[in-house]
Chains A and B, each alone.
Chain A
Amino acid sequence: MYSNLEALGIDVGSSTVKAVAVDGSGVILWHHMESAEPRVVPQVDHFLKMVSEKFGDISGIPLVATGYGRRLVHVASKQITEISCHARGVFKQLGHGGTLVDIGGQDSKVIIISSTGAVEDFAMNDKCAAGSGRFLENTADRLRVDIDKIGKIALSSTEETYISSTCTVFAESEVISKIANGIAVETILKGLHRSLTLRIVTMIRSLGSLPPLMLSGGVVKNPAIRYMLSEETKEPVVLPDLPQLMGAYGAALIALT
């Protein structure tokens, strides 16, 4: 049992649910992540049970919820948007501002964080899956390639094909036609990564980038996205230690205050 648990954050995202527990200085004591279930409430209950088993009685411990399912976390003392939470988490971990790109399963966000950690501006691509992790998931599935390997495979290609469709569904059809034309899978994958990266870069440019470029969210695990973002923006990319947990971590830090 830990006696120094001071706050909890839970990020109910569209692909995964994450929870972070912190002490009074914001040091992460525990974290957990699972694939998101369609029923949010039982999954949140399950998370809280795990926390209780780890830390004992958690009544009175402040909890902030974030993510698209945040409103369904009824026990939370506050619901805060994922943009504010990601900014808070990344700023605490990296200790500086800049341009944060968070590529999630359902949407992607670009957040300008000031030198004091405040959110100065933000842009969201939330109307279409084309700029999100779902874009890669769908096409990886169509190409029968493991999602965890697509970045590496894409980078292994010396050639790249242009994906013209700006829509996930149409991109899938385009992929099929490229396969039918005998184009190699790795070449197609490289084109798909470029397509997603350029959409993110457009958002970054719409806000006016403030260096350095920082990344969070599940798609950060993909090396091709990291490489291409750096290549397109001509900026080095900085990653926090636990990029997928930054939303939940930021929520816990907000709960702490």
Chain B
Amino acid sequence: MSLQQLKIPKRKDVINEFKARGGKIAAVLPIHYPRALFRAFSILPIELWGPPKIDNSFSGSHLQAYVCSIVHNALSFLKIGGLDEVDFILVPHTCDSLQGLGSLLVDFVTTTKKVLTLYLPRDKGEPGYEFLGHEILRIYTILSQITGLHPDDALLFDAIHIEEQADKALAELYFKRKKLGLGNMDFYRLIRTREFLPAEHFIKLSQSVLSVSAAKSFNGLPVVLSGIIPEPMELLDELSRMGISVAADDLACCGRRLYQPGVSMNPFRRLSENLFSAAPDPTRGDSLESRIQYLKSLVYKSKAKGVIFYDVKFCEPELFDLPDLKKALKGQGIPSLTLEVDINDPISSQMLTRIETFLEVIR
């Protein structure tokens, strides 16, 4: 099966359709945020991972050269009118660069959009839950003031339940990925529709994919992909061409957001539980040890032959952990390869040589 048969809508069409029904749009920067809270206010979160391959020179007067291309691109995109259709911008405190961008948008860069920030706790204990619950409540209060809406617990839980179903659909796609018959590119194009499709549409799309039995599964030498985003996405086609199958991932935009449903009957606590439930992530303060264990489990479960760290240049949270992650994997006999990219650059032939060499080593 090919994704072309599934007719995945474009982001712009999704935005227009949602707005035509009276909804509003929030551009959301990486990585974790309470989707359901926004949906309860009839706001559709559309994620902004860059976008890649744009002229990002418009951000140079505000951001240092050592800030990653995702953050540079996001600011440039805003300045060239890429976010004109958007009503709100949410900047989670994922890293220092994004916190810096949040401050810039609030204090220095003129924008007609309402900018919200979300401070994520670095502690997963009870104080962390409490802090995040308060943060989500703070955003609820701001959205109430702006929209004049005051969704009650029932309405909040309606939104929470549908997002939890979408999370479950995402997890099922991951669980059955080998049987879907999708190549690397098609699988990640499908998964990444969660970044902009309303949950109900994503569930339908997932069901239509899961209902079709693949004529043949996509086979290749299995590897685990770790990092932030698989951009430029041509990388995935190149991996397929070389005979590599991404068998599992620890990507911030994908596998690191396989959230579990919460249990609390307090909606704010429930949303906190949800955000805390996903795979270890350095931007949420998860320990190095938990990341090592998680990566090892991905390798063993997927029978991967190695790990490719595909990191965005200057991404501090990823790069801080990298030497220790590689060392720990090496100690377990798991080979790894590190690639660094700027999301505006094409895949270089040198990078392809590195991947091919890695393939020759692990084969």
Enumerate 21 A-B pairs (CB-CB under 8 Å) in ascending A order.
A68-B349, A68-B353, A81-B353, A81-B356, A81-B357, A81-B360, A82-B353, A83-B357, A83-B360, A84-B360, A84-B361, A118-B361, A121-B330, A121-B335, A121-B361, A122-B357, A122-B361, A124-B350, A124-B353, A126-B348, A126-B354
Q: What separation, in Å, do the CA atoms of A80 and B335 have in the docked complex?
A: 19
Chain A 111-128: CB-based contact to B (< 8 A → 1; otherwise 0): 000000011111010110
Which residue numbers of B lie inside 8 Å of A, CB to CB?
Answer: 330, 335, 348-350, 353-354, 356-357, 360-361
B349 / chain A contacts, CB cutoff of 8 Å: 68
Please tell me if A107 contacts chain B, counting CB pairs below 8 Å: yes
From A68, A84, A107, A118, B357 is in contact (CB under 8 Å) with A84
- A109 nearest CB neighbor, chain B only: B357
Closest 8 CB pairs of A and B: A126-B350, A81-B357, A83-B357, A84-B360, A81-B356, A119-B361, A81-B353, A124-B354
Q: What separation, in Å, do the CA atoms of A7 and B155 have in the docked complex?
A: 73
Q: What separation, in Å, do the CA atoms of A118 and B360 have in the docked complex?
A: 10
* Number of A-B residue pairs at CB separation under 8 A: 33
A122 / chain B contacts, CB cutoff of 8 Å: 357, 361
- A82 nearest CB neighbor, chain B only: B353
A84 / chain B contacts, CB cutoff of 8 Å: 357, 360-361
From B330, B353, B360, A119 is in contact (CB under 8 Å) with B360
Least CB distance from A65 to B in Å reads 12
Q: What separation, in Å, do the CA atoms of A81 and B349 have in the docked complex?
A: 11
Q: Are B357 and A119 in contact (CB under 8 A)?
A: yes
Q: Are B353 and A126 in contact (CB under 8 A)?
A: yes
Q: Are B357 and A127 in contact (CB under 8 A)?
A: no
- A79 nearest CB neighbor, chain B only: B356
Q: Are A80 and B353 in contact (CB under 8 A)?
A: no
Q: Are A127 and B350 in contact (CB under 8 A)?
A: yes
A81 / chain B contacts, CB cutoff of 8 Å: 353, 356-357, 360
Least CB distance from B143 to A in Å reads 44
A127 / chain B contacts, CB cutoff of 8 Å: 350
| B348, B354, B357, most chain A CB atoms within 10 A | B357
Q: What separation, in Å, do the CA atoms of A38 and B355 have in the docked complex?
A: 25
From A107, A118, A119, B350 is in contact (CB under 8 Å) with A107
Q: What separation, in Å, do the CA atoms of A82 and B348 have in the docked complex?
A: 16
Q: What separation, in Å, do the CA atoms of A80 and B354 have in the docked complex?
A: 11
Least CB distance from A79 to B in Å reads 8
Least CB distance from B344 to A in Å reads 15
Least CB distance from B5 to A in Å reads 32
Least CB distance from B324 to A in Å reads 14
